[in-house]
Structure 1
């Protein structure tokens, strides 16, 4: 399929079975439209991280169809995977920052790889630093900053190339509630600007206080897909 940067995700009958025989995902079908904000919730081992990794092709499905931003991930060639990833921003729980690079260098690195000019890089980096309120930390190194600041760097790096979709895997997992609230404000703003956001999270407070579409995964299957849902379904309250 040809490239079409439209911010949509489509999965049909997707399964992922690992070499050891564990069926991490079974019969997953869902569609995410441009500009949606979707929470993926479920217990550890439910299949959320596997699902997230399929979206940016860290993993490949055993069966089924996956189309992300117009890229058919079942038939995509290896040389096209970088093109796919340039249309995505990915934020991890453990930040994955380069320790020997400054904040500005970490953010600008992806643009450097794309061959952008120094002027373009400096302009884009300055813009996203302002968005995450870290202008004063541009020349510092990651280990000099708090966890919340490091996560904001990671978000800035993810959005510096203006992706159509931002994928976040437990982005507040290592952060305190107040810091998490600030991180979510940034994600909300990104989404309000038209970017699709997919977030795997265990954070019940965030999901309940900032309602969006909730997709719950259990045993490798989608058991709930609810617009404006809570972290825990009403029927599960007494479970």
Structure 2
């Protein structure tokens, strides 16, 4: 009797943490998550940083904080390194405790448009679980790797209560732009006096952290823009749930 009850509880917990299978297969063709590619609030700029946590996170965070700016970090679970490694956990905590917004960039940075319903869920829930464990939050926003998504990705995101975030400006750090090119691209974009900006950057690039970011911040502030989180620039909440971090154990691994 007791063993049956424990099995029922454990099964229910797994369904909540990892809602995959026939029940969710039936939702295919159903509601789709909202996709945001620009800020709603005039004068807001959301500087976002993909592919971490990695070694340049601290300098990116410190540069933002020094300027009175807030950034948004979209984290992977197992891309450049395992998020459960001690150094990576500390980086996640460092960004969160500095007041930056934390979002999902999926577990292993796979192109979600090539995956099945269950595989997309797996890519999403594993990094959500990691963030719940490390800093106690469940993100309300997900950035699909490479910016690639289709209806199935949007359906899974809706089922997981997450919106998708793309961008309307790319500083080119991941596609081979030099520092001079990235700076020129910021100049060109700001010369058009946009109402707002949702900027794609990568905290895995040294040039972004040490050169392009300080330049961009100075130009944005000179233009009268306020650098805020993605959630703030959209007038939404950053997290589905905020609770207490967990205690590391043998299950915290990639």
- Do both proteins adopt the same fold according to a TM-score greater than 0.5, normalized to the shorter chain? no
Structure showing greater relative contact order (alpha-carbon pairs closer than 8 Å, 6 or more residues apart): 2
TM-score (norm 2): 0.31
Structure number with the higher strand fraction is 1
Structure number with the higher helix fraction is 2
TM-score (norm 1): 0.33
